[in-house]
Chains A and B, each alone.
Chain A
């Protein structure tokens, strides 16, 4: 059983469309990060959220941490082909300072 479930698992959209990726858990997290991974490469950090209800924006990407710190979402506005990749949420549970647990992943494909 995965601690962090992401949905959808796969998303194929056209350039210019908006989308939201969800990261859900029944457990509380001290902090949550979002990474993007391209084929043949390691994940690259996009953002870290630490406060319940926190919203962060990174250009066309908006990240939200749930009030109860059990879930998060990533919203992309006007997707571009360069947004294609595997999006991963990852969290740290209270009391497990070292262990960053990754979600199941959402593969996004943006076409012209």
Chain B
């Protein structure tokens, strides 16, 4: 596809369950970012991949959160033992270059996670 694709668009789960959120970046983009956004707030950085490796995971809130990008393209954000506070929109973005080089981030529409 032409843009960043995220699935599912909407996920409702129960407290304590495991959740996977998928991101398919723009073809050829080596940089991939995950952000979390609460209603009306700015996105909060979670993790950044350059190729297959997590170059910066300093934004992951705790060890229940984990992300992979095994082949340097599609990425999966995994959340274990979900809590109500995890409810948010999870945004994925991809870029041709580093943010430091003023690379534009292209965002998907997000996955809305609701933990009951």
Asked if B42 and A42 make an inter-chain contact with CB atoms under 8 angstroms apart, the answer reads: no
Chain A contact residue count (CB 8 A cutoff): 29
Asked if B42 and A100 make an inter-chain contact with CB atoms under 8 angstroms apart, the answer reads: no
Interface residues of A in 78-112 (CB under 8 A from B): 86, 88, 90, 92, 96-105, 107
Which residues from B are CB-within-8-Å of A99? 45, 48, 56, 58-59, 99
- Selected from A31, A45, A48, A88, the residue in CB contact (under 8 A) with B43 is A88
B68: interface (CB < 8 Å): no
CB distance from A11 to the nearest CB of B (A): 13
Which residues from A are CB-within-8-Å of B110? 40-42
A25: interface (CB < 8 Å): no
Expressed in whole angstroms, the Cα–Cα distance for A102 and B42 within the complex equals 6
Asked if B33 and A100 make an inter-chain contact with CB atoms under 8 angstroms apart, the answer reads: yes
Which residues from A are CB-within-8-Å of B59? 99
A30: interface (CB < 8 Å): yes
A98 in contact with B105 given A42-B110, A43-B43, A92-B100 (CB within 8 Å): no
B55: interface (CB < 8 Å): yes
